[in-house]
Amino acid sequence: MSDALVAHPTVEVRVPPRSWRSEVRAVKIVWRRELIRFQKDRMRIVTSLVQPLLFLFVLGSGLQQLSAASTHGVDLKTFIYPGVLCISVMFTGMFSAASIVWDREFGFLREMMVAPVRRSSIVIGKVLGGATVASLQGLILLALAWAVHVPYSVTLVLGVFALQLLLAFSITAFGVMIAARITQIQSFMGVMQMIVTPMFFISGALFPSGDLPGWLTVLNRLDPITYAVTPMRTLIFNHLDLSAEASQALNPPITWFGWEVPIALQIFTVFALGMLMLGIAIVEFSAGD
């Protein structure tokens, strides 16, 4: 009977050692996957533009006559255009982060987690992919600058794209941080709706941040989106022929206890918050199952 037994050779499974090249390759694969998903989902591209365009053209046109005096003759669509540029990348970045919850529900996330790469590489690739997609989406609205009386220039396009990329990075990192502990897409969308929408309105994207009630001023200064909207508006207003009075009224400086916060520090605040949330997301994924 022993002669009938056939000895089966042992198959050795070798896992390649980790290296910086394998980690970079993992980041690139996850980043590229986000771009491929975005490219194939044409409906997503269209639907993500609906809300920004409604704010820009419907709300902007509808309230123009009512607010003409308070905007010092500046078209309301021109005023809210910087805020719309921010909202376009905010919601697209959040949608990219939501794909983590989808991947968890369908089991694909577990397959990525067991890959012989650091989980931090997966998180970084996810955040960079979402930020890239959101910024590319923002370029569509940037192409509509002529429709709101904003002149094109190389410095304007590069500056706006850089700010959009930075905001998209921070928002996507925030979304990934939230998605790390959520298992159902309905729960994630509810949390995002509860957090992101108030952040957008409080940021001053649709109204000047000066002469606000005390409680709203405090919320405005605590809102991280404020530090993306104000530099965006400053950049665009610098390319417009506005009076000093109009510029001061529509784009007042951000102050902390009477100290005017430099634009560079505002931009750095967005970057620092993005890095902090990315770090938290990495810790959450590394500690997860």
Share of the chain above pLDDT 90, in %: 21
Bridge partners, residue 260, by sequence: 255
For residues 220 and 212, what is the distance between their CA atoms, to the nearest angstrom? Answer: 9
Whose tokens are 């991280």? That residue is: 224
pLDDT at 66: 42
* Range from 35-39, 43-47, 69-73, 158-162 that averages highest in pLDDT: 158-162
Please state the φ and ψ torsions of residue 19, each to the nearest 5 degrees: -150, 170
Whose tokens are 């089991």? That residue is: 107
Q: Is the pLDDT of residue 24 over 80?
A: yes
Q: Are the beta carbons of 212 and 170 closer than 8 angstroms?
A: no
Q: Are the beta carbons of 144 and 57 closer than 8 angstroms?
A: no
pLDDT digits 0-9 by tens, 122-132: 888 889 988 89
Alpha helix stretches (DSSP H) within 68-184: 76-106, 108-113, 119-142, 154-179
pLDDT at 65: 44
Bridge partners, residue 259, by sequence: 256
For residues 241 and 149, what is the distance between their CA atoms, to the nearest angstrom? Answer: 11
pLDDT digits 0-9 by tens, 192-205: 778 887 888 888 88
Q: Is the pLDDT of residue 113 over 50?
A: yes
Closest CA to 199 of 277, 90, 85: 90
For residues 45 and 93, what is the distance between their CA atoms, to the nearest angstrom? Answer: 12
Model's pTM, two decimal places? 0.80
Higher pLDDT, 66 or 241: 241
For residues 219 and 199, what is the distance between their CA atoms, to the nearest angstrom? Answer: 9
Distances (CA, A) of 113 to 107, 124, 181: 10, 13, 15
* pLDDT, the chain, mean: 80
pLDDT at 64: 52
Structure tokens belonging to residue 199: 């952040």
- In this predicted structure, which of 107-116, 173-182, 272-281 has the lowest mean pLDDT? 107-116
pLDDT digits 0-9 by tens, 207-256: 888 777 888 889 889 999 999 999 999 999 998 888 888 888 888 889 99
Q: Are the beta carbons of 192 and 206 closer than 8 angstroms?
A: no
Share of the chain above pLDDT 70, in %: 80
For residues 141 and 143, what is the distance between their CA atoms, to the nearest angstrom? Answer: 5
DSSP letter for 211, please.
Answer: S
Mean pLDDT of 38-60: 62
pLDDT at 142: 87
For residues 145 and 147, what is the distance between their CA atoms, to the nearest angstrom? Answer: 5
Mean pLDDT of 28-42: 76
- In this predicted structure, which of 78-82, 171-175, 180-184, 227-231 has the lowest mean pLDDT? 180-184
Higher pLDDT, 77 or 59: 77
Q: Are the beta carbons of 281 and 180 closer than 8 angstroms?
A: yes
For residues 13 and 108, what is the distance between their CA atoms, to the nearest angstrom? Answer: 22
Half-sphere exposure of 177 (CA within 13 A, CB side): 16
Other residues' Cβ atoms within 10 Å of the Cβ of residue 107: 8
